[in-house]
Amino acid sequence: MTNEREILAERITNRLKELDLTARNVSIQATGKPDVIRDLQRRKSTPNGPTLARIADALQTTSDWLLGNVENPGQLRSEVSFHELPQGWREPGAGSIPLLGTAFCADLIIEQEGESVAIEQIQLEVDHTVRMIERPSALWNAPNAYAIYFQGSSMERRFYQGEIGIVDPRRPPSPGHIVLVKLNDGESQTVMTALVKELVRATSAYVELLQYNPEISFRIPRNRVEAMERIYRPDELLHL
């Protein structure tokens, strides 16, 4: 009898071929590690639920299909189902929002209480659209909404690498919200890097943020903050 690992390995291999993707790229996108997909194809392991869900997202399918529980590989139509880039997507009220490219970059070094601490930051590729995702109904009148892939592990227990966050620039964030903070170089308005953190407080002099992993509370001078926008999990938008 075919076991779960054999089904998983076969379906991952078939899906990679159908989408013309490499095991390494999907593995890095979903887990941040280059060999996870290869190990699954060799039937060396079975991923936990969150990891399997991120792999399924990267392969544009579902965990149930990868495990052989259903025969239809197509993702259920949902708030974050993927489709091709349509013409006119930048028009207000269009049915899609862009998923912008993100990448790792060097940690931001903050001097705090006489010590240097490393804060995880990302490169936000505002001119690169990875793909389009369906516009959540809660954002029907938010023409500037967009989505990002989470990178790194600094916000784990709330967001994991490879998950999608939806950014709504219209909604001012409050303490306790997860925010995307766009940083300039301190001398111009050009966005250089970005932080995904929890907002603790914002004053005219600084923005205080919380990183979860490792847990660090730190301050960024206000003149370095070009924009601060609230991030939602896709499921959060269902309740707005």
Tens of pLDDT, residues 89-128: 445 445 789 999 888 888 889 887 788 889 999 988 877 8
Query: What is the pLDDT confidence band of residue 87, given thresholds at 50, 70 and 90?
Result: very low
- Beta-carbon contacts of 188 under 8 Å, excluding residues fewer than 6 positions away, are none
pLDDT tens digits, 170-189: 888 889 999 999 998 777 77
Average pLDDT over residues 143-156: 89
pTM score, two decimals?
A: 0.59
C-alpha to C-alpha distances, 191 to 12, 80, 117, 194, nearest whole angstrom: 38, 27, 22, 8
Among 86, 74, 233, residue whose Cα is nearest residue 150: 233
Q: What is the rounded distance in angstroms from the CA atom of residue 88 to the CA atom of residue 95?
A: 10
